[in-house]
Structure 1
Amino acid sequence: MRHLRVLCAIADAGSVRKAALRLGMSQPSLTTQLRRIENAIGGRLFTRERTGSRPTALGRSVLCRARPIVAEMAALVSEARSAAALAGGARLRIGSTASRAVAGWVRRLRERYPGAETGIHIDVSANSLLQTVADGQVDVAFVHEPEGFPLRFPPGVEQHVLIDREPQFIALPQTHPQAGRRVVDMADLADDQWIVDFTADGEWAATRRAFATAGLNPRMVHVPDNTTAAALIAGGEAVSVCQPVSQQRQGMVIRPLRDDPLAVRLLLACRSDSPSAAEVGGLHADLMAAYAEVAWASPAYRWWLLRHGSPLLPPPEGGPAPSGADGPPEHVLAAVPGRLRAARRPAPHTTAPGVPRARGGG
């Protein structure tokens, strides 16, 4: 590897003298080393000219093979050092917008890096999180990007897609006339008061666009606190857009919206020059596993995934076999793992547990 680096350095510098300066060697020492390399190969690799050193035909052939090897070795050393730093007690700082997947992600990261201290930073603003990544305050961030309203990625921050399109669901009071339906039309919620968090980047704009497309102008209320929002919904005072992995609380139900008018893209972000960039494959895999875990634990989302034949989220190993009203079509069942295809399909016209079926339900 040392000899290959020497050849690349001479070619990149354009002369033995400049290459010696870059390598921290004397020019005579580098010249002697080059001659030894040429003797071992059996031919001249560079020609000396007044303007410097140029590769011969043999030299160009050797360099074509040498450069990828040198680059791969440099990447290997960088990744190994990053892994060693994390495993050796370093601090891993993760950021996220609100998501039930974070707890499972942290658990998996602690298993992957048992000696690393894991810090957590939660922010309602995805753009603020991306800036903390750019500033080096957070190593990696899990963010939600509303469809049609791109986030602002600072220079040097790279993105890795977790889920290209996650549908957004609706949280309803359990006593709501639409609570018994499997799928809810936005038009049937026109007379309801909607909870929206105006501080979440793009959430209000995306919701307003969906209202305009449906020809609706419902009443809005700004509630940034999840506890208060849940109490208002359970008390029959409002409805709210929610993540499909949201936990269904007492007094409320969670349902998909017909035709999925609202969606977000789930992204993992990190600085391209940070140690976490070399570890992004493992960080992404752990987050994906955590997301799949909470996705398949949600009855409404599990039903939606099977209904749409999503190959994105295989059920976690050892997890419960999904089930849903009316069952997925046969071509959808063929796309999911075999042990799910073997599961018995429920009887037609089944409703969600504990929820009465409304007349003409969706």
Structure 2
Amino acid sequence: MLRRVELEVRHLRALCAIADTGSVHKAARQLGMTQPSLTTQLRRIEQAVGGQLFSRERTGSIPTPLGKFVLCRARPLVAEMTALVSEAQAAASRAGGEYLRIGSTGSPAVPGWLRRLRARFPEADTTFHMDASAHTLLRMIASNQLDAVFVHEVEGSPLRIPDGVELHVLVEREPQFVALSATHPAASRPVLSLAELAHERWMVDPTADGEWTGLRRVFTEAGISPRVVHGDNLAAADLVAAGEVVAPCQPTAPARPGRVVRPLLGDPLAVRLLLATRETTAGAVPDTAPVIEPAALLADLEAAYREVAWASDAYRHWYQRHDDSSSLPFTVVA
């Protein structure tokens, strides 16, 4: 029954996603749909209500007066439905035993983290959800859809933390590197400057919260204005290898055929790595105890991160060059 009701609310959820992201394309990514499917769904909704809900402007999809009216009624319904389904699922999970619902914006450390969590909690039903948007994952924590998420906060573009969400810092400042083709003239250099990449096409993912804002800030401070291409990380990997674009990337990014990863001179672009959980009041026992224990989750995440950090040649060499720096997130042991 709940599933049936949830399906009936999906149209309202789609409208809220379009309004929140300002784009049918971004909303489709957030909802896990294709853009043509969401466009078709929007047309059906507009036919049902008898009017246009969004106008397409240069700045994106803007709600019409009718759209604003519908959204005003839709948002509380979607919020209530989300809470109802989450609470029902949590109750069902508790009845069947311990569970752990993990999410992440994506990192090479995630597989190792999940492996350690399953070893630590062998009786728990562990599930995983990935989303490019840290804000989406944080909202899922607040609405009890997830128990813990591993996200990043781009320097200069702080995340909006919902009420009831608690943050635990894994790495205060992780430098972001650049991925470029192995055939690029600068690929043989151990460290690259933004200036020598000023004429390249840079690919950024517009659905990754803060990524473009952070990169634009760095470009402005460096006094350069390179060409920018928008796309997701999967598309970027192939285009980088083909020499069509360069792209910012995590320092833990694994080696791929035709692609190299290099640090940027001065580490101008950085993120803060965070584990987010729901707040618990002093003395309270979480519904999922002892599974949702932030200290244990963070310890396993740190071990997984250390593993991939040391496995990355580029990141390992960066550590070695900065071995006297207090900015190191933790000691890496060979």
TM-score (norm 2): 0.67
Q: Aligned partners of 1:289, 1:214: CA distance in 2, in Å?
A: 35
Aligned residue in 2 for 1:279: 293
Residue 234 in structure 1 maps to residue 250 in structure 2:
no
Match of 2:312 among 273, 293, 298: 298
Q: Who is 2:105 aligned against?
A: 97
**Deviation of the 1:89 alpha carbon:** 3.7
Contact preservation (8 Å) 2:100, 2:292: no
Cα separation, 1, equivalents of 2:111 and 2:175: 21
1:217 aligns with 2:225: yes
Q: Deviations over 1:100-138 (max 9, x none)?
A: 111000000001001001110101000110000000000
Q: Measure the CA separation in 2 of the matches of 1:282 and 1:270.
A: 12
1:254 corresponds to: 261
Residues 172 and 329 of structure 2 are in contact (CA less than 8 Å); yes or no, is this contact kept in structure 1? no
1:200-236 Cα distance to aligned partner (Å, 9 max, x none): 1000000000000111111111111x33211111111
Indicate the SS of the match to 2:243. coil
1:315 counterpart residue number: 332
- Give the residue type in structure 1 aligned to 2:272: R
SS of 1:178's equivalent in the other structure is: coil
Q: Distance in 2 between matches of 1:161 and 1:315?
A: 17
1:243 matched to which residue of 2?
250
Aligned residues: 231
Q: Which residue of 1 aligns with 2:158?
A: 150
| Counterpart residue type for residue 248 of structure 2 | V
CA contact (8 A) 2:154 2:210 kept: yes
Instruction: Return the letter of the residue paired with 2:314.
Output: A
CA distance, structure 2, for counterparts of residue 149 and residue 231 of structure 1: 28
Q: CA 1:118–1:278 in structure 2 vs 1: closer, same or farther (change >3 Å)?
A: closer
Rounded to whole Å, the distance in 1 between the matches of 2:234 and 2:157 is 27
- Check if 1:122 corresponds to 2:134: no
Alignment match, 2:146: 138
CA distance in 2, matches of 1:296, 1:202: 27
Q: Trace 1:1-362 onto structure 2 (pairs within 5 A).
A: 89-224=97-232, 226-273=233-280, 274=286, 275=288, 279-309=293-323, 312-315=329-332, 321=334
Say which is worse superposed, 265-274 or 119-128, in terms of deviation. Answer: 265-274
Instruction: Compute the displacement of 1:314 (Å).
Output: 3.2
1:283, 1:157 → 2: CA distance?
15
Letter of the structure 1 residue corresponding to residue 311 of structure 2:
A
Secondary structure of the structure 1 residue equivalent to 2:239: helix
User: Sequence identity of aligned pairs in percent?
Assistant: 56
Letter in 2 for 1:142: F
Q: Deviations over 1:71-101 (max 9, x none)?
A: xxxxxxxxxxxxxx99x94110001111011
- What's the CA shift for 1:278? 6.1
Partners in 2 of 1:230 and 1:286 — Cα distance? 28
Q: Secondary structure at the match of 2:248?
A: strand
Relative CO higher for 1 or 2, CA cutoff 8 Å, sep ≥ 6? 2
Partner SS, residue 154 of structure 1: coil
Q: Which amino acid aligns with 1:295?
A: A
1:334-360 CA-to-partner distances (Å, cap 9, x unmatched) read xxxxxxxxxxxxxxxxxxxxxxxxxxx
Cα RMSD between the aligned structures?
1.8
In structure 1, how many angstroms separate the alpha carbons of the residues matched to 2:141 and 2:292? 15
Counterpart CA distance in 1 for 2:143 and 2:238 is 37
Deviation per residue, 1:260-283 (Å, 9 max, x gap): 000000001011134469611010
Larger radius of gyration: 1
CA distance in 1, matches of 2:272, 2:332: 20
Q: Which runs of 5+ in 2 are unaligned?
A: 1-92, 281-285
